[in-house]
A and B are shown apart, each in its own frame.
Chain A
C-alpha cells in the first residue's frame, strides 16, 4: 500500500463547478499537509499548506484535513479553465529531514 493514495483522474468539470480533490494516507505520523498545482511542463507550485485538522480557506480554494480518517481534500469553487492542471497532495511528518511524500496527482480539466 502506498503511503499516500490519490485518484489520478482525469477529472473533467464545466466552468463554474465546485471541484473536490482527495487524498488518503496511511501514516498517522504525518502532520503537515500541502496541495501543489502543476501545469504541463512546469514544476509544482504550492497552493495550500496546513498542519491541523479542519478547514483552511484561501480565495476560491479550501483545504480540509481529517486526521481521524487520514483524509485530506482540496475544494475549488467557481472553477476556471485556468485551473486546468494536475493537483498533487503532499504530506510530511514531524521527524527528521522534511521529505515530502506526494500523491500521484489528479489531472483536472475545466471546460468552457
Chain B
C-alpha cells in the first residue's frame, strides 16, 4: 500500500481481555517498529523487526506483550490480560532498511476500561 496501515484505529477493551493490533507496512520495507505513545510520555520503543526476526525486543514492558511478523510483511502486537496502564496509542512504523527514516501509521488508540 501507499502508507503504513494499522487496524483497528480504535479499540476499547475490558481489563483482563487480550487484544491484537495489526500493522501492514509499506510494501518492500524490511524494517518494522512498534512504539507506544502515552500522554506526556513521548514515544516509547517496544520492538524492532528486520524481516521476520526481532533483533531488539528490549522495549516490551512485560511478558504480557508479544509481537510477530510473518512473510516479512504484516506484524501483530498482542497484549494479554490487558491492564489500565496499557491504555495508549500504539504506533507502527516501517523503513526501507535499517537506519532509514521511518514512515509511521496513524496508530491504534487502545483504551482499557
Residues of A within 8 A of B (CB): 6, 8, 32, 34, 36, 41-46, 49, 88, 90, 92, 96-105
B48 touches A99 (CB 8 A): yes
Instruction: State whether A96 touches B43 (Cβ < 8 A).
Output: no
Which of B4, B41, B100 is close to A104, meaning CB atoms less than 8 Å apart? B41
Given the known interface contacts A97-B98, A99-B33, the answer about A104 and B45 at a Cβ–Cβ threshold of 8 Å is: no
The number of residues on chain B lying at the interface, defined by a beta carbon within 8 Å of a beta carbon of chain A, is 28
Nearest-CB residue, chain B, relative to A96 = B55
The interface of chain B, by Cβ under 8 A from chain A, is: 4, 31, 33, 35, 40-43, 45, 48, 50, 55-56, 59, 91, 93, 95, 98-107, 109
* Top 5 A-B residue pairs of the complex, sorted by shortest distance between their CB atoms: A43-B104, A104-B42, A102-B43, A97-B56, A98-B98
- Given the complex, which residues of B lie within 8 Å of A46, measured CB to CB? 101-103
Residue of A with least CB distance to B42: A104
Please give, as numbers and ranges, the residues of chain A lying within 8 Å of B100 by CB-CB distance: 98
A96 touching B56 in the complex, CB below 8 Å, given contacts A32-B99, A34-B101, A43-B104? yes
Interface contact B102-A104, CB-CB below 8 Å: no
**When the two chains form their complex, are residues A97 and B105 in contact, meaning their CB atoms are under 8 A apart?**
no
* A11 smallest CB distance to B (angstroms): 16
Assess the B99–A98 pair: CB atoms within 8 A: yes
- Cα-based distance from A97 to B101 in the complex (angstroms): 13
A88 to B100, CA, bound (A): 17
Q: Known: A43-B4, A43-B106, A43-B107. Contact between A97 and B41, CB under 8 A?
A: no
* Bound CA span A101–B102, Å: 12
Q: Compute how far the CA of A103 lies from the CA of B37 in the bound complex, rounded to whole angstroms.
A: 11
Shortest CB distance B52–A (Å): 15
